[in-house]
Amino acid sequence: MTEPMSDYCLDIVRQHDPDRFMLSLLAPMKARAGLLALFAFNYEIAKTRDVVSETQIGLIRLQWWRDALKEIYDGATPRAHKVIEPLAETIKQYDLPREDFDALIYAREFDLEGVAPANIEGLMHYCDYTTTPLYRLALKICGQSEIDSVLKSIASRYALVGLVRAVPYMILQRRLMLPQDVLAQHEVSEQKLIDFNDLSKIPDIIKDVLNNNNQLQNAQSKFLKNVCAMTKTYERQIRQADYDVYNPVATSPKRFMFLQLWLKNIFGLV
């Protein structure tokens, strides 16, 4: 039996995570409520860095989610919360493993440190930890499966492209997730970028970051095929803008993307 869709989860995913809102709509009807609950949970923990003023407060907030999940898996009555309650139903219905939720929360603790990765490898680890467990859970909700190495390559690449597109926003927030060794190769410091003193080197830095990890394996699952299609579209926009993520061509929402993906799904082209 499919659980009823939460209007709250639907609204926050639609407003704050449009890509995953589209992925939910492209999924089988019976999976949509579960996906929206999962993605609403992910939004709640991912925004922690932006809504707290101190690291300790952020850790307390993430611990609240960790404790709420423990209660669900211990069989206790779920907390009266607009995300926890539908998430509890989703966990029960699809028998979702707790370790993937714990991994997602742990990954968000890294955000609170405010430290950019030392190198490309560190950046890709971050992309993996923040996204692969999420899509592993999503696949289970959709009743689909994928080789883990393929899942990891697609999830990590999608996250990497998303981080690149978010560079202007992150610099405004006085934080950066670009690898420190790549910045050093271009003789620019994180502080210079944050202080808007040397943005001219951003395109070359972005180009190196994307070209240092260009592995997007072919998916068998429909869910990940849609993720691949989104990733390729966003990468194409960035390249068309010559890697200048301050150019609206690179980061503006792709018009008609949902329609294009929907038609591809209908005709079996993804």
Is the Cα torsion angle 167, 40, 268, 142 positive or negative in sign? positive
Output the six-digit token pair for 46. 């991912």
Query: Among candidates 170, 188, 180, 233, which has minimal Cα distance to 209?
Result: 180
Q: What angle do CA 15, 36, 264 make, to 5 degrees?
A: 85
- What's the Cα-to-Cα distance from 251 to each of 22, 167, 257, rounded to whole Å? 17, 10, 14
What pLDDT is attached to residue 1?
54
Q: What's this model's pTM, rounded to 2 decimal places?
A: 0.95
For 48-67, how does the pLDDT look when each residue is reduced to its tens digit (9 = 90+)?
999 998 999 999 999 999 99
The predicted structure's pLDDT at residue 46: 97
* SS3 call for 6: coil
Structural domains present in the chain: 7-266 (1.10.600.10)
Q: How far apart are CA 199 and CA 4, in angstroms?
A: 47
Q: And the tokens for 132?
A: 């692969």
Q: What is the mean pLDDT of each run of 10 residues along the chain (270 residues)?
A: 81 97 97 98 96 94 98 98 98 98 96 92 96 98 97 96 95 92 93 84 96 83 96 95 96 85 85
Distance separating alpha carbons of residues 33 and 44, to the nearest angstrom: 17
Q: What is the pLDDT of residue 256?
A: 85
Full 3-state SS string of 226-243: HHHHHHHHHHHHHHHCCC
> What are the angstrom distances between the C-alpha of 199 and each of 35, 170, 173?
38, 13, 15
227, 23 contact by CB (below 8 A): yes
Q: Which two tokens stand for residue 243?
A: 């890697």
pLDDT attached to residue 270: 72
DSSP 114-167: ----SSHHHHHHHHHHHHHHHHHHHHHHHT----HHHHHHHHHHHHHHHHHHTH
Write the pLDDT tens digit of every residue in 92-110: 999 999 999 999 999 999 9
Question: What's residue 78's pLDDT?
Answer: 97
Q: In degrees to the nearest 10, what's the CA dihedral of 156, 158, 161, 167?
A: -80
Candidates 82, 74, 81; CA nearest to 8 is 82
HSE value, Cβ hemisphere, 13 Å, CA-based, for 43: 23
pLDDT of residue 2: 63
In terms of residues, how long is the chain?
270
pLDDT of residue 3: 67
